[in-house]
Amino acid sequence: MNRLSREALLIRCAYLFYQEKLNIKEVADRLDISRFKVSRYLKEAEDNNFVEIKLKFPDNQFEILAIELENKFNLKRVIIVPATPEMTSEVRRTIVGKKGTDVLKEIGNDKSIGITWGRTIAHMVESLPYDLINLNKITELTGGYGMFDPRMSTSSLAPLLAKKTHASCYQMHAPIISSNEIITKNLKRDDSIKRTFNMAKNSDIAIFGAANLSDKSMLYQAGTLTADDLSELKDNGVIGSIIGRFFDKDGNEVKTKFQKRSVSIEWEDFLKIPQRVALIGGANKSECLYGLVKGSIPTTLIIDDIAAVRLMEKIREEQEY
């Protein structure tokens, strides 16, 4: 029978486990006590500060920040991509887009994916190797911008992803926001567009980007929104856009004059897609990002580290306020 005092056993457990690197079974055998008691003593040693555990990670790793964001907003996964202050927004979008291919590699075969337009999404699609995975369907979640950008053709992302993954492709042959409600109603009656909407609603995964409400957004650059529109939307509490729709600081869709003109999956249907992966590149989207995660819009978030740090700063500012 072990005659050591309880405190002596606690200290010896901690020493043998942390200093001598014995496992719990070896410690139990050495001290002639049960493994259950070893575990309990180790926990007590930590609780009473007899043991100080320090975690050291490489400077370019942001896993702790990722965990904090996951816990704060109940996100299934946060992936933070290392960046540097010297990187332009386009370079940040590029590295975030490339990291998005890792998520595609992990999802397995025969899945149906809905995607939106955007430069970051374009980098993801362009970076994905051919024949890496076999998907079932690729579906556009919105209409297009009606413009040609040499960095990203809005008519080619879904077909290119489908070609690379041997999937069927369903496109939304319509503008992302039409000129008036009547046009949108008529477009939604079209059999081809109705079929695409139905496929979009039944996607296993949605991959999307987000934009600030600014003259840098594609909605503005494509001429869909004017400067007056931006001003009016801001007055109505809008901070950003996804899937051709607008949301506020709490991540709720804002009812605007564009809502019934949007040719895109409905907000409620979008949120029912089981996995929603947001790819956000750029250091100027902390407010937009905060609204996204506060509203539980993405389930997975892929961002660069500067955007992640600024998002956390935004969270702390809100808490202090």
Q: Is residue 57 part of a domain?
A: no
- Token pair 């960046």 is found at 83
CA pair distance 216, 118, nearest whole angstrom? 12
143 with 24, same domain?
Answer: no
Using CA atoms, how far residue 156 sits from 134, 144, 211, in Å, is: 19, 10, 20
Q: Which contacts of 214-221 are long-range, i.e. CB under 8 A and separated by 24 or more positions?
A: 217/241, 218/117, 218/118, 218/119, 218/145, 218/149, 219/145, 219/176, 219/177, 219/244, 221/147
Q: φ and ψ at 47, to 5 degrees? A: -60, -30
Q: Is 54 a domain residue? A: no
In this structure, is residue 36 part of a structural domain?
Answer: yes
Tens-digit pLDDT string for the chain (321 aa)? 456 788 888 888 988 988 888 889 999 999 989 998 998 998 888 888 887 766 555 555 688 889 889 988 889 999 999 887 777 788 888 899 999 998 888 887 889 999 998 888 988 999 899 998 999 999 999 998 866 555 555 558 899 999 999 999 999 989 999 999 999 999 999 999 999 999 999 999 999 999 888 888 888 888 889 999 999 999 999 999 999 999 999 999 999 999 999 999 999 999 999 999 999 977 677 788 999 999 999 999 999 988 888 888 877 777 655
Structure-block tokens of residue 318: 């809100």
- For residue 255, what are the CA distances in angstroms to 109, 259, 267? 38, 6, 11
Q: Which domain holds residue 300?
A: 63-320
Q: Is residue 58 part of a domain?
A: no
Say if residue 245 is in the same domain as residue 125: yes
Residues 18 and 136 both lie in one domain: no
Query: Are 72 and 28 contained in the same domain?
Result: no
Residues 38 and 137 in one domain: no
Q: Is the pTM of this model over 0.85?
A: no
Number of residues in the chain = 321
Count of structural domains, the chain: 2
For position 135, which CATH number holds?
3.40.50.1360
Q: Is residue 56 part of a domain?
A: no
Rounded CA-CA distance 115/209 in Å is 9
Q: Can you tell me the distance from the alpha carbon of 281 to that of 301, in angstroms, rounded to the nearest whole number?
A: 11
pLDDT of residue 1: 41
Q: What is the CATH number of the domain that holds 24?
A: 1.10.10
SS3 200: helix
